[in-house]
């Protein structure tokens, strides 16, 4: 009997050991504050996107060093730093001295949270989110790839314009940072000597909060709590005094207003159409080409995803026709047959590596979508290159303008050509990925990725070939997954690259790359 007791004790021990080695899984990008590779002293002269002048938002002239007002602020900052709670110190570590990256990460998380497709009503119809009543099911927004791409563009452009203005004033007023003015104040980050008035962190915090609150109205309280934590951390970290923060808030508020005013009239509110409008778009394609895409779900979705996203205002591409590809091969043409045979071939002989690629790039419902995926790559690249906040904002602004322009062009092609998906055209075809609720040609993955890779290649030329390889892989992933033909992908990559070219040539006007 004793022998069995030993066995039992052994079993308990093993269970304990197994349970004690479960690790915490990462919920954010693991990086800390860093020394900027360049302070970008002349960034105040870079080209604004939505504003006309780098002093368009007036700031009060900061009180001088040694003045009683600033001394009091420094004393206050010192006290806050001395009395910081462990939660406040953790916040300093979390936000880092390039907090735009955290706000971008928060944006991706919200995009993911709201990327759920509406479920059918009992009568087989489908409800649509209502921006006027965001909490009613289905919640507003449905953060699908077009929505997310547009949201990221507004976020990034507001951040960028705000930081150009911040840099303009920093180098105009040249107020030294608290840790330089008072030796008892320690910077929690590298002492890089960046002027502190206005606080670039506060610009980013407020601009991001305001844009994201408009884009995700149900997250208002969550974002308010984030912004409070972030603003507090700027003083606790020893890099700003309260007047720096207040001045930054002024800029953040105004740039968000400008961005949101553009957003309110950019055509997005009409992108999801009525059934009648959707039918007329469908009929136009039928008359033009003789084919038409139909949703294959049960119950059938009678209106595809945002048929009029193509009408949303572009950022840098002059018009959708400028990047519209030629028509896809007609169903049952030899070229089509070849592409269909290729899909069947993959479906029947998918390798482990091809399956992995299909799933790695799936970025479907309940994810941050392909635009989010490329923003994540950009974040990692920015940290690796130790970019300053303003140069970081520049990368994201041009990246996300190119991505949303590519998306608008892609959606134009999708509903202009209204091309059927493989599950519609190939009888009995089964896939490992879910087929989205919009036409096939051109591939959104290919278009978004083609655009993103080119912008990344421009800003990070050392890794250009890596980005282009990723874009090709993202395009192929949809073919492995059985939801796109190869010509959807090829045309999409080209279309995306063309969209990016407009964004890149605008970026070149700064003359800093």
- Does position 323 interact with another protein (CB under 8 A)? The reply is no
- Does position 302 interact with another protein (CB under 8 A)? The reply is no
**Greatest CA separation for the chain:** 87
Quote the least distance from Cβ 118 to another protein, whole Å: 7
- Report the sign of the C-alpha dihedral through residues 415, 310, 485, 334, in that order: positive
Sites for another protein among residues 135-154 (CB under 8 A): 137-138
Rounded to an integer, what distance in angstroms lies between the CA atom of residue 471 and that of residue 238? 41
Say how far residue 427 (Cα) sits from the centre of its chain: 37
Number of residues in contact with another protein under rule CB under 8 A: 55
- Does position 349 interact with another protein (CB under 8 A)? The reply is no
Position among 132, 298, 349, 509 found at the interface with another protein (CB under 8 A): 298
Position among 65, 71, 75, 117 found at the interface with another protein (CB under 8 A): 117
Residue 123, CB-side half-sphere exposure with 13 Å CA sphere: 2
- Does position 85 interact with another protein (CB under 8 A)? The reply is no
Q: What is the DSSP string of 216-236?
A: SGGGHHHHHHHHHHHHHHHHH
Which range in 116-124, 223-231, 407-415, 502-510 contacts another protein by CB under 8 A?
Answer: 116-124
Which range in 76-84, 108-116, 225-233, 308-316 contacts another protein by CB under 8 A?
Answer: 108-116
For 435-458, letters b (16+ CB in 10 Å) and e give bbbbbbbbbbbbbbbbbbbbbbbb
Q: Is 10 exposed, middle or buried (0-12, 13-18, 19+ CB in 10 A)?
A: exposed
Which range in 101-109, 210-218, 226-234, 454-462 contacts another protein by CB under 8 A?
Answer: 101-109
Position among 65, 116, 218, 260 found at the interface with another protein (CB under 8 A): 116
Bond prior to 422 in cis (omega within 30° of 0): no
Sites for another protein among residues 20-39 (CB under 8 A): 22, 25-29
Question: Nearest CA to 375 among 392, 356, 357, 358?
Answer: 392
Bond prior to 32 in cis (omega within 30° of 0): no
Considering beta carbons, is residue 367 or 463 the nearer one to another protein? Answer: 367
8 A C-beta contact, residue 435 and residue 479 = no
Which range in 43-51, 58-66, 180-188, 290-298 contacts another protein by CB under 8 A?
Answer: 290-298
Rounded to an integer, what distance in angstroms lies between the CA atom of residue 351 and that of residue 275? 41
Considering beta carbons, is residue 289 or 429 the nearer one to another protein? Answer: 429
Position among 19, 135, 265, 349 found at the interface with another protein (CB under 8 A): 19
Quote the least distance from Cβ 423 to another protein, whole Å: 5
Rounded to an integer, what distance in angstroms lies between the CA atom of residue 469 and that of residue 132? 42
- Does position 435 interact with another protein (CB under 8 A)? The reply is yes
Residue with tokens 């609720």: 437
Quote the least distance from Cβ 126 to another protein, whole Å: 10
- Does position 128 interact with another protein (CB under 8 A)? The reply is no
Rounded to an integer, what distance in angstroms lies between the CA atom of residue 392 and that of residue 379? 8
Interface residues toward another protein, by CB under 8 A: 1, 4-5, 7-8, 11-12, 14-15, 18-19, 22, 25-29, 105, 108-109, 112-113, 116-119, 137-138, 296-299, 347, 352, 355-356, 358-360, 362-363, 365-368, 373, 376, 423, 429-432, 434-435, 482
């Amino acid at each position: 009997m004793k022998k069995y007791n030993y066995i039992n004790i052994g079993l308990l021990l093993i269970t304990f050991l197994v349970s004690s080695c479960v690790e915490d899984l990462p919920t954010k990008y693991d990086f800390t504050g860093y020394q900027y590779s360049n302070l970008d002293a002349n960034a105040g002269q870079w080209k604004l996107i939505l504003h006309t002048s780098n002093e368009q938002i007036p700031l009060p002239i900061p009180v001088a060093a040694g003045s009683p007002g600033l001394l009091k602020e420094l004393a206050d900052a010192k006290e806050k730093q001395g009395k910081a709670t462990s939660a406040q110190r953790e916040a300093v570590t979390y936000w880092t001295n390039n907090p735009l990256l955290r706000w971008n990460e928060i944006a991706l998380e919200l995009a993911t949270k709201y990327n759920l497709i509406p479920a059918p009503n009992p009568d087989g119809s489908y409800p649509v989110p209502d921006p006027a009543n965001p909490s009613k099911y289905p919640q507003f927004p449905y953060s699908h790839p077009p929505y997310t791409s547009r949201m990221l563009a507004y976020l990034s452009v507001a951040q960028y314009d705000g930081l150009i203005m911040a840099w303009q004033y920093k180098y105009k007023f040249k107020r030294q940072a608290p840790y330089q003015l008072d030796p008892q104040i320690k910077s929690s980050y590298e002492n890089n000597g960046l002027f502190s008035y206005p606080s670039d962190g506060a610009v980013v915090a407020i601009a991001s909060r305001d844009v994201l609150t408009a884009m995700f109205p149900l997250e208002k309280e969550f974002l308010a709590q984030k912004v409070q934590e972030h603003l507090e951390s700027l003083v606790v970290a020893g890099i700003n005094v309260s007047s720096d923060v207040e001045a930054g808030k002024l800029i953040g508020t105004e740039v968000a207003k400008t961005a949101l005013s553009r957003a309110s009239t950019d055509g997005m509110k009409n992108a999801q159409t009525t059934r009648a409008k959707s039918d007329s778009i469908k009929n136009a394609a039928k008359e033009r080409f003789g084919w038409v895409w139909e949703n294959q779900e049960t119950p059938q979705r009678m209106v595809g995803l945002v048929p009029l996203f193509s009408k949303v205002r572009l950022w840098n591409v002059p018009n959708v026709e400028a990047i519209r590809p030629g028509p896809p091969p007609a169903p049952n043409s030899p070229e089509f047959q070849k592409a269909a045979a290729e899909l069947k071939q993959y479906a029947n002989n998918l390798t482990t590596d091809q399956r992995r690629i299909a799933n790695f790039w799936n970025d479907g419902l309940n994810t941050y979508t392909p635009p989010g995926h490329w923003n994540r790559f950009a974040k990692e690249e920015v940290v690796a290159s130790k970019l300053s906040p303003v140069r970081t904002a520049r990368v994201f602004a041009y990246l996300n303008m190119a991505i949303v322009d590519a998306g608008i062009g892609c959606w134009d092609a999708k509903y202009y050509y209204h091309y059927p998906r493989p599950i519609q055209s190939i009888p009995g075809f089964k896939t490992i990925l879910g087929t989205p609720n919009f036409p096939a040609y051109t591939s959104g993955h290919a278009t978004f990725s083609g655009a993103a890779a080119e912008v990344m290649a421009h800003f990070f030329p050392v890794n250009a070939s890596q980005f282009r390889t990723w874009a090709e892989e993202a395009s192929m992933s949809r073919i492995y997954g059985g939801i796109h033909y190869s010509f959807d992908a090829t045309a999409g990559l080209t279309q995306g690259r063309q969209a990016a070219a407009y964004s890149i040539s605008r970026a070149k006007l700064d003359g800093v790359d």
